[in-house]
Chain A
């Protein structure tokens, strides 16, 4: 069964760093893109960026460029989303999404269950 399993909920203070994960199973992790999507409380979906685990090539939305880092370790079939200094406005649910194509969804898409990040002093 194809699955993306994300790391658990996090509660952090402003200024702290964080790295959340998304582990793929049931498919060849290196040939599918992994996108990250943010959903702030009560708000809509926002596309953050995408990585190709095969060569770690990444693309970022201009809104998130420089604010987060997307990476992947193909040896453990895991993608990561990290912050060096969290802000309260980073409080959101974060989803990872497996995609065959970087430019659009397809029949083979799969979403992770989401990771809730809460940043509060």
Chain B
């Protein structure tokens, strides 16, 4: 069961929008609408940002949005802010009835 593929890094200037991709297979991302996204600041506990592909938990800014097309899910951060600088991980349910995380993406705010 391989980790989902994410770009190692994505950067953007304050106010811009960035998109992080998460590529899997038809046995995970493509087969289910059960993709989540997590934000992790250095030394901190991960925080859930998106679940079920595009749902935001209460308290999460609407600048964060999720989508999916085929075997690739995406997290878009609009109106990029300094506090968004962190690592981001996707996760998907799999055909083995387990879950798998992505490789992680470091977001840098220029």
The interface of chain A, by Cβ under 8 A from chain B, is 35, 37, 44-47, 49-50, 59-63, 95, 102-107, 109, 111-114
Contacts of B52 in A (CB 8 A): 104, 106
- The answer to whether B101 and A44 touch across the interface, beta carbons within 8 angstroms, is yes
Contacts of B93 in A (CB 8 A): 103-104
Query: Considering the chains assembled together, what is the distance between the CA atoms of A113 and B91 in angstroms?
Result: 20
* Stretch in B9-17, B18-26, B43-51, B75-83 touching the partner: B43-51
Query: Considering the chains assembled together, what is the distance between the CA atoms of A121 and B4 in angstroms?
Result: 34
Given A103-B34, A104-B51, A111-B45, A44 contacting B98 (CB threshold 8 A): no
Contacts of B100 in A (CB 8 A): 47, 61
24 A-B pairs within 8 Å (CB atoms) are namely A35-B99, A44-B87, A44-B89, A45-B46, A47-B98, A47-B100, A59-B98, A60-B98, A61-B98, A62-B1, A63-B1, A103-B32, A103-B97, A103-B99, A105-B36, A105-B51, A105-B91, A106-B51, A106-B52, A107-B58, A109-B57, A111-B45, A111-B47, A114-B45
- The answer to whether B48 and A109 touch across the interface, beta carbons within 8 angstroms, is yes
Q: Is B38's beta carbon under 8 Å from chain A?
A: yes
Q: Is B69's beta carbon under 8 Å from chain A?
A: no
Kindly identify, within residues 45 to 99 of chain B, every residue whose CB is under 8 Å from any CB belonging to chain A: 45-48, 51-52, 55, 57-58, 87, 89, 91, 93, 96-99
